[in-house]
Amino acid sequence: MSVDERRRVKRLPREVRERQILDAAVQVFSERGYHNASMDEISDVAGVSKPMIYAYLGSKEDLFAACVQRESANLLEAVAGGVDVDLAPDMQLWDGLRAFFDYVGEQRAGWRVLHRQAISQGGPYSDELVAMRRRAIGLVDTLLVRTATKQGLDEHATSATEALAAAVVGAAESLADWWLDHPEVPSRIVAARLMNLAWMGFGDLVEGNTWSPRG
Sites of contact with its own copies (CB under 8 A): 90-91, 94, 119-123, 125-127, 130, 133, 137, 160, 162-164, 166-175, 177-179, 182, 185, 190, 192-204, 209-211, 213-214
49 Rama sector, left if φ>0, alpha if ψ -120 to 50, beta otherwise: beta
Vertex 137 angle, CA 136 and 142, to 5°: 100
- Cβ 211 to its own copies shortest distance, Å: 4
180 near 205, Cβ under 8 Å? no
Is residue 71 a contact partner of residue 114, using CB atoms and an 8 Å limit? yes
Q: Calculate the alpha carbon distances from 209 to 68, 88, 171, 203 in Å.
A: 40, 20, 21, 6
Quote the Cα angle for 38-44-48, to 5°.
Answer: 105
Closest contact distance (angstroms) between CB of 126 and its own copies is: 5
Q: Which is nearer to its own copies, 27 or 121 (CB)?
A: 121
- Shortest Å, Cβ 75 to its own copies: 16
Considering the complex, state which of residue 48 and residue 169 has its C-beta at the smaller distance from its own copies. Answer: 169
**How far is 19 from 83, CA to CA, in rounded Å?**
26
Q: What type of residue sits at position 152? A: G
Q: How far is CA 118 from CA 29, 149, 204, 205, in A?
A: 10, 37, 35, 35
The distance of closest approach from Cβ of residue 41 to its own copies in the complex, given in angstroms and rounded to an integer, is 22
Nearer to its own copies, 89 or 110 (CB): 89
- Please state the closest distance from residue 47 (CB atom) to its own copies, in A: 31
Residue pair 45/28 in contact by the 8 Å Cβ criterion:
yes
Decide: helix, strand or coil at residue 139: helix
Taking the least distance from each CB to its own copies, the nearer of 94 and 111 is 94
Q: How far is the CB of 59 from its own copies (least distance, A)?
A: 18
Report the residue number, 4 or 184, with the smaller CB distance to its own copies: 184
Measured from the CB atom, the residue of 21 and 205 that comes closer to its own copies is: 205
